[in-house]
Amino acid sequence: MSARRIALVTTGGTIEKTYDERSGELVNRRSIVQRMLEELRFEETSIQVLDLMSKDSLDLVEEDRAQIAAMVRSLGVETLGRGPTGVVILHGTDTLEETGERLYREIPSTTVPIVLTGAMRPFEMKQSDALQNLTEAIFATGVLPAGVWCVAHGRALRFPGVKKDRELGTFVGGA
């Protein structure tokens, strides 16, 4: 049996955008996280991928955020030992902070780390930060205390107070 059980919830965002040859645009069509996971090696870790939605975070509405919170809550994160040992949420970076704040407010008694991550450049592009951030987020579920976190670019920031700094191209702040 795996020592760590991670639920990985996909919502879309830049991290999972793919190039549409017909339109010439980067779009969210379906989750590509399995392709990313195939490039990684994790010992004593099982990862359950839960495809929730494939949306650019700028297109998310409050009902979508409610759906994300409901999915996370349904995993049993408020009861120690019942659900996964950690949750990773792939999310677009433009509104990741809004979803993180909602999770922080609505699931204050989580017993596991809930980690949001995304990418500034899609996985399919050169010099993407997608694989790095996914790897860090999965690793972080095993070392961070319970709470809601943003993990990206070598840092773990705890909600509340996380913000995207567009000039720096990363996240700042946190509790």
Q: Which of 14, 93, 95, 135 is catalytic?
A: 14
User: C-alpha distances in angstroms, 73 versus 7, 30, 109, 117?
Assistant: 12, 23, 10, 18
Residues with Cβ within 8 Å of 51's Cβ and at least 6 positions away in sequence, in order, are 10, 30, 31
User: What is the spatial distance between Cα 147 and Cα 149, in angstroms, rounded to a whole number?
Assistant: 6
Contacts by residues 42-48 (CB-CB < 8 Å, ≥ 24 positions apart): 42/138, 44/2, 44/3, 44/4, 45/2, 45/3, 45/4, 45/5, 45/6, 45/138, 45/142, 46/2, 46/4, 46/5, 46/6, 47/6, 47/8, 47/138, 48/5, 48/6, 48/7, 48/8, 48/84
Q: Is 14 tagged catalytic? A: yes
Provide the pairing of β-strand 155-158 with 162-165: unpaired
List active site positions: 14
